[in-house]
Homo-oligomer: A and B are copies of this chain.
Amino acid sequence: MQPANFASSSKNLAMLQPENSQPLAVIGTVAIDAVETPFGKKDKVFGGSAAYFSYAASFFTPVSLVAVVGSDFPDEYKGVLQEHPIDLSHLEVRAGKTFSWQGSYESDMNSAKTLRTDLNVLLEFNPQLRFAKAPEFLFLANVDPVLQMQVIDQLERPKLKFVACDTMNFWIGSKRPDLLKVLAKIDCLVLNDGEARELTGDFNLIRAARKIQEFGPGTVVIKKGEHGVLLFSGSRFFALPAYPLESVFDPTGAGDTFAGGMVGYLAKTGDLSFENLKRAVSYGTMTASFTVEDFGLEALRRIQLPDIESRLTEFKKICSF
């Protein structure tokens, strides 16, 4: 058992608020990506679903990052995570190469074309959780549903209050039975519109969400990129437009950042009411709106919580009528 290993960067001390925060953990990928957009190309971008999630969530609350990297993982990237209250005790380093994804975006910037996926050390990842204080909030970022289930099985309810999960078309197509087992165990599924349609075979997103709720999660969040987000919880519904951006530089990580902002805010407040879920979705939207302004975590590294709050204040004016 290792002690929590939070960064002591003074920049984010004000955000720690450990007395109000519920412990939050995320399992997912930490990656060295290569990204090409109409605005530029970058070969070594620090990314991965759990990296985006934990950096975003830790604006709101401390996060434990459960992931694996290879021996090639740069200290510089570890330093980026250490800028925020991110516990790296469960960041395993294995001999071999770090997971890597290469993708490109066409001018519509709405969907990435995957050019290459090298799983590398992710193939041997078998996380053993050894928390001093078990998390009450858990996010299962986009990895193999078998791996997601392994993590759920190591944590116990009712201590574990809220489990949210992401997935992707690859798992929906190739590991549907495993994914359905995960869905039966979680509280909230966060996925994009195309994935919701593929998972349910229903084009209508309202009906698709209702069908997903029948698989297990009482709460379903459907991300629609530039068109905003839909939230379904029990029989209740909320729709939020996207923050209007005149330029989207690189959409990679926007979905994971959204989930990080959302679940981070929920864990910070410990409030799972519908009204607070709506606020959480709006914090997720605002946090993600920064991510897409630069490659990787670069734009998030330049901001602090007050920047997110101030964009939210502006956004509320835009949406009110």
Contacts and interface: CB of A to CB of B under 8 A. Distances in A.
Interface of A: 107-109, 203-207, 210, 224, 226-228, 230, 237-242, 244-248, 275, 278-279, 281-282, 316, 318-321
A210 B109 CA distance: 19
- Report which residue of A207, A224, A227, A319 has the largest number of chain B beta carbons within 10 angstroms of its beta carbon: A227
A278 B321 contact: yes
Chain copies in complex: 2
A237 B246 CA distance: 12
B318 A239 contact: yes
A241 B244 contact: no
Nearest to A282: B321
Contact of A239 (B224, B237, B238, B244): B244
Given A207-B247, A237-B318, A240-B319, 14 more contacts: A204-B246, A204-B248, A206-B244, A206-B245, A207-B246, A224-B227, A228-B228, A228-B239, A238-B321, A239-B242, A240-B321, A279-B321, A319-B319, A319-B321
A240 B241 contact: yes
B108 A239 contact: no
Contacts of A246: 204, 206-207, 210
Nearest to A246: B206
B318 A320 contact: no
Contacts of A318: 237-239
A162 B102 CA distance: 51
Contacts of A224: 227
Contacts of A207: 246-247
A228 to B, nearest CB: 6
A241 B5 CA distance: 42
A108 B201 CA distance: 11
B204 A239 contact: no
A320 B108 CA distance: 29
Nearest to A110: B203
A295 B47 CA distance: 49
- Report which residue of A206, A239, A246, A248 has the largest number of chain B beta carbons within 10 angstroms of its beta carbon: A239
